[in-house]
Amino acid sequence: MCYIIVTQNILVANIVRDKLKKILSIIIKGTYNALSKIKDGTQKLLYTFVGLFGHNRKRQAGSKVLVSSAVKVNVKKPSAAKRSTHRSAFKTKSKKVWWKSKVVIFATAAAIIAAVAITAAVAAIGGGDDRDRAIAAQSNIENAVSSELSESQEGSSANVSLNQNEVSLDTTSTEQTIQTTAPAQTPIPTTEPVDEDLLPGRSDARIIKIQERLMELGYMDYDEPSDYYGFGTEFALQLFQRKHGLQVDGILGDNTIDMLFSSDAVLYTVKIGDRGTDVASLQKRLQSLNYLKAGSTGYFGTDTEAAVKNFQKRNGLYADGNVGEQTREALYSADARAASTSSSSSGSSGSSTGNQPVVVGDPDNASADALIAFAITQLGKPYVRGGKGPDTFDCSGFVYYSLNSVGFKIRYMTSTTWRSADYPTITNMNDIKKGDILCFNGHVGIYMGDGRMIDASSSNGKIVIRSNIFASSYWTRNFRSAKRVF
């Protein structure tokens, strides 16, 4: 819209400029011709004035003899002294007449110039094809502005700005004003415009491919992809940007998209120098296994790296100090081995051994109805990888927090660990019951009955309820088992 307005304004400006040139040319030519005629006429007028009121009268006054057509008389020749006197008087009078004539000349010239200028201006502006083009251009501008206002603002005020040319449009329901400053021939924005459909909080079909790629690389927990650019997608993009040395803003800029779908994109890992909630969750788990005595700062420093290496050595993994998918699964599994007494830290809390989930308290005090009722109260809370409540969750953290909140005290387990947990296992999706923990590829949720599931969704970025998982090809295809805890 701004480009149209600027172009039409340039057309009007060119037409006005051509008109001014024509008017100026007419004025100059007319003035030159008028002054030439004034000069000739004034000289003749001056000679006439001088002849009538100057020299002839002196000759008559000096002769002392009347000249008659009937009588021929002798004329007395004036003396040299008298002739000198006559010449002096003639010069004096001629100067006075010339001064008065100059005033008349300038006044006449000014009047002629003004008349010529006014006539030329009226003639140039008042008619012709150029005037029609100017009116048409102005009409096009008004129509374009009116159309834009009716589509975008419906009669309310609007502000449109163009960075390079500072073209602004300030309108209300009763008036339209266009202000331009230093317009360019072709307005070019200084930066690429942001795709407004690829911003957090928006829905766009392209987001599905983005989420699938993030899940494939391990930056996003497996979930049914959606077209919603939610908090989970934004957080996964931040992890990806952190890993690849990009600006960590969670925005789908050109550099991020190009790197995401390039062959240079690498799998998700956590290493020294990283910072985030995923690091804080990792540190808490290392503390619970007595590998780390420092608090969960959220920064992966040398102490955290040393703790990771010790864990990897004790659990038969390659000790590089980086946390990839294999180390992460082993760290949160039921088979994770705690640190030995010599390497354990004072003040560390809790450890876990064996392949059985640790249950504290009486599971009979909990019930499937209580679990579902509590889970519903968490609807809408944001999804964050490694979140275990009370304000943020990932899928396994949500199941862990909900079970513990209704009296079923169980240790945190990842989605992979849940699949190997020693609880009654249901392999047929048609046999699941209310309160079962549903295990999919990389995801867990709580079954509510009637085909519904409540879970922490990475693709939607929050706690949601799925309406009919039996009708979804994604859930039926990725279902692995259900664990009956009640």
State yes or no: pLDDT of 448 exceeds 80: yes
pLDDT of 130-179, one tens digit each? 444 545 555 554 555 445 444 444 444 333 333 333 333 333 333 333 34
Q: For the chain, what's the residue count? A: 486
Q: Which CATH architecture has domain 359-483?
A: Alpha-Beta Complex (3.90)
State residue 73's pLDDT score. 42
Quote the CA–CA distance of 188 and 162 in Å, as a whole number.
9
In angstroms, what CA-CA distances link 455 with 215, 399, 439, 461?
17, 8, 11, 11
State residue 306's pLDDT score. 94
**Structure token digits, residue 145:** 């502005």
340 pLDDT tier (thresholds 50, 70, 90): confident
How many helices and strands (H and E) does the chain possess? 14, 11
Average pLDDT in the 200-226 region?
Answer: 93
State yes or no: pLDDT of 245 exceeds 90: yes
pLDDT of 390-404, one tens digit each? 999 999 999 999 999
**Structure token digits, residue 59:** 């000759």
Do residues 446 and 372 lie in contact, with contact meaning Cβ atoms separated by under 8 Å? yes
State residue 204's pLDDT score. 92
Total Cβ atoms within 10 A of residue 327: 22
CA 66 to chain centre: 104
Quote the CA–CA distance of 246 and 252 in Å, as a whole number.
11
Share of the chain above pLDDT 70, in %: 57
CA 254 to chain centre: 14
Beta-bridge partners for 443: 440
- The residue among 415, 424, 447, 422 whose CA lies nearest residue 434 is 447
Domain limits of the chain?
Answer: 1-56+85-173, 199-260, 359-483
Average pLDDT in the 17-27 region?
Answer: 72
State yes or no: pLDDT of 1 exceeds 70: no
State residue 121's pLDDT score. 57
Do residues 459 and 228 lie in contact, with contact meaning Cβ atoms separated by under 8 Å? yes
State residue 143's pLDDT score. 56
Please, how many CA atoms are within 13 Å of residue 55, restricted to the half-sphere of its CB? 9
State residue 356's pLDDT score. 44
pLDDT of 426-439, one tens digit each? 999 999 999 999 99
Do residues 224 and 472 lie in contact, with contact meaning Cβ atoms separated by under 8 Å? yes
The CATH code belonging to domain 199-260 is 1.10.101.10
Quote the CA–CA distance of 199 and 103 in Å, as a whole number.
78
- Rounded to the nearest integer, the mean pLDDT of the chain is 74
Quote the CA–CA distance of 10 and 180 in Å, as a whole number.
10
State residue 195's pLDDT score. 67
Total Cβ atoms within 10 A of residue 425: 14
Average pLDDT in the 226-234 region?
Answer: 91
Radius of gyration of the chain (CA): 49
State residue 341's pLDDT score. 63
State residue 115's pLDDT score. 64
Asked if the domains 199-260 and 359-483 are classified in one and the same CATH topology, the answer is no
Beta-bridge partners for 388: 393
Quote the CA–CA distance of 230 and 102 in Å, as a whole number.
87
Phi, psi (deg, nearest 5) at residue 379: -55, 135
Beta-bridge partners for 456: 463
Beta-bridge partners for 160: 169
**Structure token digits, residue 446:** 């709580």
- The residue among 458, 269, 454 whose CA lies nearest residue 371 is 454
Phi, psi (deg, nearest 5) at residue 482: -130, 145
**Most confident region among 238-242, 294-298, 357-361 by mean pLDDT:** 238-242
DSSP 335: T
> What is the enclosing helix (H) or strand (E) of 403?
helix 395-405
Q: Is the peptide bond before 225 cis (omega within 30 degrees of 0)?
A: no
pLDDT of 281-338, one tens digit each? 899 989 989 999 877 889 999 999 999 999 999 999 999 999 998 898 888 877 889 9
In angstroms, what CA-CA distances link 262 with 155, 247, 271, 446?
47, 17, 22, 36
Do residues 360 and 345 lie in contact, with contact meaning Cβ atoms separated by under 8 Å? no
DSSP per-residue letters across 252-284 = --HHHHHHHTSTT-----B-TT-BSHHHHHHHH
Three-class SS state of 454: strand
- The residue among 203, 242, 198, 256 whose CA lies nearest residue 225 is 203
Quote the CA–CA distance of 191 and 153 in Å, as a whole number.
26
Residue 221 burial (10 A CB sphere; 0-12, 13-18, 19+): buried
- The residue among 195, 197, 237, 232 whose CA lies nearest residue 213 is 237
Average pLDDT in the 173-186 region?
Answer: 40
**Structure token digits, residue 433:** 């019951």
Quote the CA–CA distance of 376 and 446 in Å, as a whole number.
11
Quote the CA–CA distance of 287 and 290 in Å, as a whole number.
5
